[in-house]
Chain A
Amino acid sequence: MSLKNVFTDWSRYRKGIEEGGFHDYEHMWGMAVDLNKCIGCNACAVACYAENNLAVVGEEKFYKGQAMHWMRIERYWDEPDLGEDRVKEFNHHGANFIPMMCQNCNAATCEPVCPVAATYHTPDGLNAQVYNRCIGSRYCSNNCPYRLRFFNFYSYYESSWPEPLHMQLNPDLTVRDKGVMEKCTFCVQRIRAAKDKARREDRKVRDGEFLPACAQTCPTGAITFGDLLTLHTPGGGVGETKVAQMWRDHQVELGKTRQTKQNPELRGYRVFEGLNTDPCVMYLERVREV
């Protein structure tokens, strides 16, 4: 509480994301998911359960829609880009898989609606959820166009991890109790560990030094994870991360509601980009020989 702050930093505090915002981003963690390679096998989703202490809710609660799938493989049958599907007798081009995890939007719609600021943007470009602060108004989930926020409708501790299953729980992060919203964190515990290690060794976090559980396990390597920030400083000392390079190769840029690609055939796109959520996850279009 300080009036001094208001006036000394007025112009800085009045900047939105379009002018750089308040954050001096240290990192901007992002992803590129190649749907040409994604086979929809679910390994990422289960790896997420294992890494992030996700509750297994059981059949009845799953039916009620109270499951916790931070990462889910969505599967659609129609492919509008390959023509009208309704008349076809068979799905001759297979299924349309897409892994959906929190898109860590830079202009996240979930953030401004939280009454207690339990969800906010970190200097890592992450859309963080502070479990301790959450009061469970669930507004953030309602305002997420991707529907990637999950609520602890119950206290799952007893039912999900009967002894000795609880011994598997990852001590690097909490087991959320009832009444708290949760979501994919890009495995923030791994990010923190890598950053701490880098700090101890007095260096920057290296590209590929760590991966979120989903990217690490993906059998086809469809998920590329890394720091997008180097995208803005090409060749400047740090060098470009793999993921930043992919974004550049596909001419997808942060901070745009519609990409202006020199080559419109390039595959990169972001889901619901037009909503101006500015997601940090780029998908590469699925490819089919027709």
Chain B
Amino acid sequence: MRKGRILALFSNFDEAFAAISDIRHYKVPGVSVDDVTVISPIEHPEIEEVLGERPSHVPKFTLLGALTGVTFGFFFLASAQATFTVQPQGGKPVIPLPSNFVLMYEMLILFAMLFTVTAFVIGARLFRKRKSLYSEKVSLDQVGIELEVDEKYIEPLKELFNQHQALEIREEVIK
């Protein structure tokens, strides 16, 4: 069974929304809304209403980063200070907690941010070669719907999209 990929471009979000809604309601039997990828020039949080909630793991990474940062910060600082004991200065203890807290706070944020960005890069599947069906119009003002389905579903989908005044439909076959 060969697989194909289809991309339809719509002039506005509402039409695309309607098209996805149709897919969601199995207007094309055998094609699930989970196969749909929406490509849009701006962020459409409301798309989830038809796509269903798809998870994002970024905040978990942020939490992990924050915890790592603060723990690492404490042990890094404390163990550095504990080996560098000429440091008692100004009558202060070797391991002065208040000033370490300041640095732990900074490390918390730094690690949280680095983890977040890493999670974003992984989660958003960046650093990958773009699929050939990409249309530059998407970055301008059109909304695209992309599906990766069995070849046999391409035609019904085309029909569906045309119903919704798709401006352009492209397709390709995946080897």
Binding site for B on A (CB under 8 A): 1-3, 5-6, 9-10, 12-18, 21-23, 105-112, 114, 117, 119-121, 278
A13 touches B89 (CB 8 A): no
Does B75 reach chain A (CB closer than 8 Å)?
yes
B147 to chain A, nearest CB (A): 54
B79 touches A2 (CB 8 A): yes
A247 to chain B, nearest CB (A): 18
In whole angstroms, how far apart are the Cα atoms of A139 and B94 in the complex? 20
Which residues of B lie under 8 Å from residue A3 when comparing CB positions? 75, 79
B58-85, CB under 8 A of A: which get 1 and which 0?
Answer: 0000000000000000010011111111
**Within the complex, which residue of A10, A108, A120 is in contact with B87, where a contact is CB–CB below 8 Å?**
A120
A5 touches B87 (CB 8 A): no
B89 touches A2 (CB 8 A): no
B89 touches A111 (CB 8 A): yes
Q: Which residue of A lies closest to B74 (CB)?
A: A6
Q: Main SS of the interface on chain A? A: loop
Which residues of B lie under 8 Å from residue A13 when comparing CB positions? 81-82, 85, 93-95
In whole angstroms, how far apart are the Cα atoms of A8 and B89 in the complex? 21
Q: Main SS of the interface on chain B? A: loop
B88 touches A23 (CB 8 A): yes
Q: Which residue of B lies closest to A13 (CB)?
A: B94
What is the interface residue range for chain B against chain A? Answer: 20 to 34
- Provided the pairs A14-B95, A22-B93 are in contact, do residues A2 and B83 lie with their beta carbons within 8 angstroms? yes
Does B45 reach chain A (CB closer than 8 Å)?
no
B82 touches A5 (CB 8 A): yes
- Provided the pairs A2-B82, A5-B79, A5-B82 are in contact, do residues A119 and B89 lie with their beta carbons within 8 angstroms? yes
A120 touches B86 (CB 8 A): yes
In whole angstroms, how far apart are the Cα atoms of A9 and B94 in the complex? 10
A18 touches B87 (CB 8 A): no
B89 touches A108 (CB 8 A): yes
Does B91 reach chain A (CB closer than 8 Å)?
yes
Which residues of B lie under 8 Å from residue A23 when comparing CB positions? 88
B76 to chain A, nearest CB (A): 9
- Provided the pairs A13-B95, A14-B95, A22-B94 are in contact, do residues A6 and B89 lie with their beta carbons within 8 angstroms? no
B90 touches A107 (CB 8 A): yes
In whole angstroms, how far apart are the Cα atoms of A22 and B93 in the complex? 7
A6 touches B88 (CB 8 A): no
B87 touches A15 (CB 8 A): no
**Within the complex, which residue of A10, A16, A22, A109 is in contact with B85, where a contact is CB–CB below 8 Å?**
A22
B89 touches A120 (CB 8 A): yes
In whole angstroms, how far apart are the Cα atoms of A3 and B83 in the complex? 9
Does B125 reach chain A (CB closer than 8 Å)?
no
Q: Which residue of A lies closest to B76 (CB)?
A: A1
Does B92 reach chain A (CB closer than 8 Å)?
yes
A22 touches B90 (CB 8 A): no
Which residues of B lie under 8 Å from residue A21 when comparing CB positions? 88, 91, 93
